[in-house]
Amino acid sequence: MLRFTLRQIEYAVTIWDHGSVAAASTRLGVAQPTLSAALAKLEQQMGLQIFIRHHAQGVSPSPAGLRFLTEARNLLSHAQDFQRGVVAAGSAVEGELSLASFATIAPAFVPPLIKGFMSLHPDVTLRMAEGTQTELYAGLRSGLHDVALLYAVDMAEEFTFTPLASLAPHVLLPATHQLAHLKRVPLAALKEDPFILLDIAPSRTYFTRILDSVGITPRIAFASPSLEVVRGLVGQGLGYSILITRPFGDHAYAGEELAVRPIAEDVEQGVIALAALKQLRKTRLVAAFESHCVQYFNTIGAAS
């Protein structure tokens, strides 16, 4: 158990600096007896006499007290530095921000987002992570991440969601497909085609829900958790797919040309949101990042 308080240390060091209890009391804004009693108690708890009292001439440190006070001042500085750091972390936009992002969202949006944010707030260190929706939620719950960039589905009560953008899914066809010449492809026309599923939670349920909404029960030929593998399979002519994420250049990894077409039907859009734990009080840093995200997605006009 600690036998002293920081306040006692602060008092003792101030008395040392002023060479007098009375002078220190005005400096600290407390009454002189308060200091006198606090000092006496500190000395008693430490079992060490710190000051020699000179009647009507203040006090001066004893030899042992001098060593005590020197170390005490170190400790006090440490405490003050600590507080400065904490106050800064809570009130200024600086420190460390842990951002997690859904795997298919990350490549397109995270780089420009953090570039913009870092240029606004150069003192911020960003820590990044990717994962499935389940991992992101677990990470928020456990305090691993401050915020997560994800699709606004499976939204539990315990999180707050700030909608950032609404993205339309598109149909992905081999360039050689007979419907590839259409500006907009009706899903109904693909009813009999083999379907290639991007199989990550929650994308899996989202895409099947879309097909269900237009009355299609897909014939799932392949399923892969990798976006690029799905695109490659489509490129090989093995079926069609529905995706939201659209990498630059409509070619698969191996180079096969792909046809990317809007869906003719009116289907549910994918809403990208920034999620955070509801019970967690927002730091200024998190608030700043959140508003930067909103502003960024407004700028690129992704919200439809």
Partner DNA sequence: ACCATTGAATTGGTTAAATCTATGCTGCGC
Partner DNA sequence: GCGCAGCATAGATTTAACCAATTCAATGGT
Could you list the residues that contact DNA (CB under 7 A)? 5, 7-8, 20-23, 29-34, 36-41, 53-59
Q: Which of 165, 125, 163, 168 is nearest to 146 (CA)?
A: 125
Q: CB of 115: closest distance to its own copies in angstroms?
A: 22
Shortest distance, CB of residue 281 to DNA, whole angstroms? Answer: 12
SS (H, E, C) the chain: CCCCCHHHHHHHHHHHHHCCHHHHHHHHCCCHHHHHHHHHHHHHHHCCCCEEECCCCCEEECHHHHHHHHHHHHHHHHHHHHHHHHHHHHHCCCEEEEEEEECCCHHHHHHHHHHHHHHHCCCEEEEEEEECHHHHHHHHHHCCCCEEEEECCCCCCCEEEEEEEEECCEEEEECCCCCCCCCCECHHHHCCCEEEEECCCCHHHHHHHHHHHCCCCCEEEEEECCHHHHHHHHHCCCCEEEECCCCCCCECCCCCEEEEEEECCCCCCEEEEEEEECCCCCCHHHHHHHHHHHHHHHHCCCCC
Residue 196: CB minimum distance to its own copies, A: 38
Of 19 and 116, CB closest to DNA: 19
Q: How far is the CB of 135 from DNA (least distance, A)?
A: 16
Q: Does 128 bind its own copies (CB under 8 A)?
A: no
Residue 84's binding partner, choosing from its own copies, DNA, none, with beta-carbon cut-off 5 to 8 A by kind?
Answer: none
55 binds, among its own copies, DNA, none (CB under 5 to 8 A by kind): DNA
Q: Which one of residues 21, 103, 146, 272 is an interface residue with its own copies (CB under 8 A)?
A: 146
What is the smallest separation between the CB atom of 232 and its own copies, expressed in angstroms? Answer: 37
Residue 4 contact among DNA, its own copies, none, beta carbon within 5 to 8 Å by kind: its own copies
x/- binding map, residues 92-111, to its own copies, per CB under 8 A? ---xxxx-------------
Residue 33 touches which of DNA, its own copies, none (Cβ within 5-8 Å per kind): DNA
Q: List binders of its own copies among 37-56 (CB under 8 A).
A: 46-49, 52-54
* Residues in Cβ contact with 281 at an 8 Å cutoff, skipping those fewer than 6 apart: none
For its own copies, the binding residue among 33, 107, 112, 143 (CB under 8 A) is 143
State which residue, 26 or 217, has the beta carbon closest to DNA.
Answer: 26
The nearer residue to its own copies, 110 or 303, going by C-beta atoms, is: 110
Cα 239 to Cα 111, 173, 191, 214, distances in angstroms? 32, 7, 11, 18
Interaction residues for its own copies, span 258-297 (CB under 8 A): 277, 279-281, 283, 285
- Sites of contact with its own copies (CB under 8 A): 2-7, 10, 46-49, 52-54, 60-68, 71-72, 74-75, 78-80, 82-83, 85-87, 89-91, 95-98, 141-146, 277, 279-281, 283, 285
